[in-house]
Structure 1
């Protein structure tokens, strides 16, 4: 919080009273607002918001193209079909496949996926800006072709060796050929953010006039930041009439932020891959983009995508490339909706929106309040006691919580450990064997419980108990 300003002086050394300013009903409405997951706040729109597409955008899902470049990836046709069907069930707008010119098997896979008859997703393939690739691509039955060529000095000199005149001439030929087949066409520069701006705008304007469906901006090496992205896409939005697709690598950790900045600036399509897999550190992760956009416009996202499919899609791809879904993964990581600190847990139990910007139920997930640790609070323990139908007073809950924290100083207590403590405590209180403030008695009762079941209780070292006492 910023400090309050000093009182304004009237020139005589005495402070003037602050003059009240009526901000209108917006302020009053904001005060009355019941804060919930996905609630939008704020009084004013920015002048630039007329460009924004954060409530109207499409996903080009590239796991079966960019994702194939991931170090661990090798997808046979059966796996590709499973992934394609899962992405279609999720509802992605497009599925992008490896170029059929890459190998005979790539072509066969592309043709097979085109014949699946997917319900929601159109099929694209990604090719070099070359007529031979284009001829092969249009024969596979795809709904669209994504054409790309490097435009930075690095790639023009060390990759394909062509100048901008050749690139422009060839791009026009390829675009006109693909358009003549009645399918979608996108032209993208590669390494856009290290390309000359005049070169970029010139070729984008040219292909826009020829009639591409989309132009693409690609941060091929992951060097761009959100401000650079916003400025380039906003500039491009002013010179082309077609849609704008963006492809962001994550080498410096900006892929999701860059994707959001691009949509704010007027981009219409974002490339993603499941778990972000791809060349090197990969690209914008599907789940990460969904998490960000759920905050921007939850109604739009929920109306368009089958969010409960996200975990299934990620588990499918994780298994295929032999990796684990990260513990802190967006939405589906096992820690994503886990709350541990006592203060947090208390607030979460009162209103989940206090410490959750996303609602786990929207994704078929559940929140978990961890209570078997030294940071636990009695409110969280009380919630667990209520789940177990144990009628305990607040003072009894606090007493039991103290024992949980004491034992958790020795080792983390599992939920089963916590449940045993609560049940033994509750039974002993009802039977008159225990009173509040008798930790030694509770220790003996817990030991008896474990002995009767042949299990080993957590023991607090005598020295530690003496220090605690």
Structure 2
């Protein structure tokens, strides 16, 4: 797998709008689209223009922004939706059709032959109306569909010679990494078209499944900022970036503007009214925060000992927690140096023990630790 040969399709403005707390205004959509473009995602997927008059206007406006990222819209595979989508001027249209027996029986009510008939009509229509439009066709609920049905659908549509990319969707988040790898590999062996993977996170496997899809030959991965989306959401952008960074940080740093990652997440978190989780990948407050004494000692000697990701590449900094019983003398010495306090090793050891003892008895703050260091330094200076 080469990091230069895959693309991110960020769906914050489509899947993310299905998040329970999301209600983006037109201004929000434009600002988020620009921020995604600044980060460098290859594609931005926006809500279907058929959803509402405002969604249609926003889709058209985003398509006219002249962004480097290609703009896609996501529609049901039917002719009326296609007619509206073509008129928006987007770079690509993502079509989908449920293929599992559950969706065929309780959703749209169509058989596999009917799905193929409708899909052929819609795909042909879009291509005739707008030959330059990039088309993707995805099965929905792929992992609860029969493999024979999936291959029949993919191969029949592939024979049209129109589709650029096929999608595989773990719509309810039940797939395992091995299942994802196997299905992507089978499709890769059956077609030379690009393959997109859409992973829901209901069982916490979205990042692992997305990475497994890439290993098997997928070319496009769907993400959202903070992983927001229907129910538990989909593959979080920062999580995918973290996974890929550890493989080839230099290539990833050239491919995306990593310093924009925090700003992008702060923007979306603000617009959906949720805090960024402290332990969120890369941009969470705790991501580069070290606490245990053995960790801080090693980090101060060589940051790679306990950091697989370099915060500098993202415009971030690491920090050391000192106001607790797990703190170590190396961290205390580092803080003393930052404060300009010249203390020898025995003095540092004594102060460290004092902080540990106090932390057992009361809640300490970082400011309190600084006060202890400074007052101890003054007292030692006077006594000397």
Instruction: Give the shorter-chain TM-score range.
Output: over 0.9
- Provide the rounded CA distance (Å) in 2 between the counterparts of 1:75 and 1:238: 40
Deviation (angstroms), 1:158: 0.5
- Provide the rounded CA distance (Å) in 2 between the counterparts of 1:259 and 1:374: 39
Structure 1: gaps spanning 5 or more residues: 1-51, 434-469
Matched, 1:83 2:27: no
The aligned counterpart of 1:329 is 280
Number of residue pairs matched by the alignment: 381
Runs of 4+ in 1 over 4 A off after TM superposition: none
Post-superposition CA distance 1:21-45 (Å, at most 9, x none): xxxxxxxxxxxxxxxxxxxxxxxxx
Post-superposition CA distance 1:395-418 (Å, at most 9, x none): 111011111111111223222211
Matched, 1:261 2:212: yes
Q: Secondary structure at the match of 2:89?
A: coil
Q: 1:159 aligns with which of 98, 107, 113?
A: 107
- Provide the rounded CA distance (Å) in 2 between the counterparts of 1:428 and 1:353: 37
- Provide the rounded CA distance (Å) in 1 between the counterparts of 2:330 and 2:294: 9
Q: What is the root-mean-square deviation of aligned Cα atoms in Å?
A: 1.1
Name the stretch that deviates more: 298-307 or 344-353: 298-307
Q: Secondary structure at the match of 2:221?
A: strand
Matched, 1:195 2:145: yes
- Provide the rounded CA distance (Å) in 2 between the counterparts of 1:240 and 1:171: 18
Deviation (angstroms), 1:169: 1.7
Deviation (angstroms), 1:102: 1.5
Matched, 1:172 2:120: yes
Q: Secondary structure at the match of 2:168?
A: strand
Query: Is the Cα contact below 8 Å between 1:53 and 1:267 reproduced in 2?
Result: no
Q: Secondary structure at the match of 2:361?
A: coil
- Provide the rounded CA distance (Å) in 1 between the counterparts of 2:53 and 2:341: 66
Query: Is the Cα contact below 8 Å between 1:381 and 1:397 reproduced in 2?
Result: yes
Deviation (angstroms), 1:55: 4.9
The aligned counterpart of 1:247 is 198
Name the stretch that deviates more: 75-84 or 294-303: 294-303
Q: 1:420 aligns with which of 362, 371, 374?
A: 371
TM-score by length of 1: 0.80
TM-score by length of 2: 0.97
Matched, 1:185 2:132: no
Post-superposition CA distance 1:39-94 (Å, at most 9, x none): xxxxxxxxxxxxx3455210001011001111111011001111000000000110
| Counterparts of residues 450-469 of structure 1 (less than 5 Å) | none
Q: 1:61 aligns with which of 10, 16, 19?
A: 10
The aligned counterpart of 2:49 is 100
Deviation (angstroms), 1:178: 2.1
- Provide the rounded CA distance (Å) in 2 between the counterparts of 1:270 and 1:53: 14
Query: Is the Cα contact below 8 Å between 1:54 and 1:263 reproduced in 2?
Result: no
